[in-house]
Amino acid sequence: MGNPQFAVPALEKLLYSRHEVAAVVTSPDRPKGRGKKPASPAVAEKAREKGLNLIQQENLSEQGFLAKITALAVTIFVVVAFRILPVELFSIPPKGAINLHASLLPKYRGAAPIQWAIINGERETGLTTFSIQKKVDTGGIILQEKVPIGPMETADDLSARMSVLGADLILQTLDLIESGDYEIIPQDNSQASKAPKINPSDGHVDWSLPAEKIVNLIRGLSSNPGAYTHFDGRKLKLYRARVVEAENSRKPGEIITANDREGLVIKAGKDAVLIDEIQMEGKKRLPCCDYMRGCPIKEGHFLA
């Protein structure tokens, strides 16, 4: 059970293992892009490509769906980046349901663990497989693996890397459960932290913050939904950035450098932010030096 690209490596890993995939469950196709054409979840596309039994379901408590899943007579559910499963669904298989979560639980429980780990400046995160319970992300831990976060890694970069590592962890977990030689460790709720769903408004850059915090925000929200600022009433999305030193005589949000050789440098509360990739509202995403050719932004202007 899964939807986005993050779950695809786990599906592929299972297909080439000794474990049998009886069915793949994803959400229905949804309108996407400017043309609002129906688009399938990445997992659904992979399932069709491999000729698997694909079930696309909106209501996970619908009786016909539950009957269909029960009739499959599977031993266990594997869930990666899907939705909250109702009790009547995850109680069907005799071995229950396991989930892959992109953090070292109980840290960063919620929908956006990778993004918040980067935004908060973490240097290490991890992967956890656990037994699904009624309360989200609270089930007993089966396996965990620590994952370092590179100083320039974006959420996209880290997600791609962790999806591959997570696929291996899923397979190890299934092998352990099949062997019967494993222990489920309860989570320490006193150590829990939250990673709630990212809202577009979370991406608005506050230039009074230190440059390091701003760069972490840009990395953590790249590429979706993207950190952003405004120039002359238009939204500028920022995708990759670095911290650079800057004199304190400049004001937060002030453009220090703006040319096609050095790119765009903006003063922060402490130090400054050098933008590597940028996108003006309604335009293509570009390397900042390319964007600066003919750009109206000049030194001394302010972003807000």
- For 187-223, write each residue's pLDDT tens digit: 999 999 999 999 999 999 999 999 999 999 999 999 9
**CATH assignment of the domain containing 145:** 3.40.50.170
- Rounded CA-CA distance 128/104 in Å is 6
159 and 48 both lie in a single domain: yes
Residues 247 and 126 in one domain: no
Check whether residue 226 and residue 275 sit in a common domain. yes
Tens-place pLDDT, residues 250-286? 999 999 999 999 999 999 999 999 999 999 998 999 9
**Is the confidence at residue 152, as pLDDT, over 90?**
yes
Query: β-strands 77-80, 97-101: how paired?
Result: parallel
Asked if 217 and 185 sit in the same domain, the reply is no
Is there a single domain that holds both residue 229 and residue 97? Answer: no
For the chain, how many structural domains are there in total?
Answer: 2
Could you give the percent of the chain with pLDDT greater than 70? Answer: 100
Residue 206 structural domain: 200-291
Within a domain: residue 303? no
pLDDT in tens, 220-239: 999 999 999 999 999 999 99
3-state SS string over the chain?
CECCHHHHHHHHHHHCCCCCCCCEEECCCEEECCCCEEECCHHHHHHHHCCCCEEECCCCCCHHHHHHHHHCCCCCEEEECCCCCCHHHHCCCCCCEEEEECCCCCCCECCCHHHHHHHCCCCEEEEEEEECCCCCCCCCEEEEEEEECCCCCCHHHHHHHHHHHHHHHHHHHHHHHHHCCCCCECCCHHHCCECCCCCHHHHECCCCCEHHHHHHHHHHCCCCCCEEEEECCEEEEEEEEEEECCCCCCCCCEEEEEECCCEEEEECCECEEEEEEEEECCCCCEEHHHHCCCCCCCCCCECC
Residues 29 and 80 in one domain: yes
Same domain, 173 and 236: no
pLDDT for 52 equals: 98
What pLDDT digit, counting tens, does each position of 4-18 carry?
Answer: 999 999 999 999 999
